[in-house]
Amino acid sequence: MTQGLRSVANGRGLVLVVAAPLEAGAVLAGLARPDLASPVPWSRLDLGHGVSLITTGVGKAAAAGACGALLRPQDGVVLNVGVAGTLPGTGLRLGAVVAASTSVFADEGVETPEGFVDIAAAGFPPGDVPGVAMPCHAGVVDALRPVADAVAPIATVSTCSGTDVLAREIERRTGAVAEGMEGAAVVLVCRRLGVPAGELRVISNTTGDRASQVWDMPGALAVLSRVIGLLSLGWQRGV
């Protein structure tokens, strides 16, 4: 598992990218550094053993800006980690771990009378690939498979799915099993900078009509800590 990440990093460092303070706290707990205060947005902590933590703030703009400003030439691999909502029909339980095969820009585009047209179909692809799905680095995806309950597309949204109609539309539009708010932006920036990147999320809630959603944020954060601890331990041991 982490030998794969070591190989992808090619002797350089591992950067964990999170959005929110709760996610940062879970990562620091997993790294056995609960003594550190939760970082502020657009900050970077170097935690030893070649591992760093970037906290971006929530959303695509914050994620892209912080990564663009704070990534360094010596960074070998980037993981955007955090929590996510599961989309309908996936069967994913709360606490399930999902590694992204692709991180998909879900709502960049034009709403027309005939339906939604994504930004790539409108003639403005956001990255160096034809569509709006940013491929995660194959070596990173393979390295994360042993800790993941699913490997599948994860949607990156600006508007979270608080209605059944929107949740079904995001699932149909992207083929994703879950939605977060930063992954595609992080992967896009890393592709532009030539740094291998991936996205790893723990399911904290269902999507759909807000009143019917089911949440377990504490449980998801505990799973995130455990998974980060496994990755960190293997990274330090080089196994």
Assigned token pair, 48: 């030893």
How much of the chain exceeds pLDDT 90, in percent? 87
Fold classification of 2-237 is Rossmann fold (3.40.50)
Domain ranges for the chain, please list them.
2-237
Q: What is the pLDDT of residue 3?
A: 61
- Give the residues of the chain that fall short of pLDDT 70: 1-3, 234, 237-239
Q: What is the pLDDT of residue 1?
A: 41
Q: What is the pLDDT of residue 88?
A: 94
Assigned token pair, 227: 């998974």
pTM of the model as a whole: 0.94
In DSSP notation, 23-85 reads HHHHHHHHTT-TTSPPPPSSEEEE-STTEEEEE--SSHHHHHHHHHHH--TTEEEEEEEEEEE
Q: What is the pLDDT of residue 36?
A: 86
| Spatial contact of 106 and 179, defined as CB atoms under 8 Å apart | yes
DSSP state of 215: B
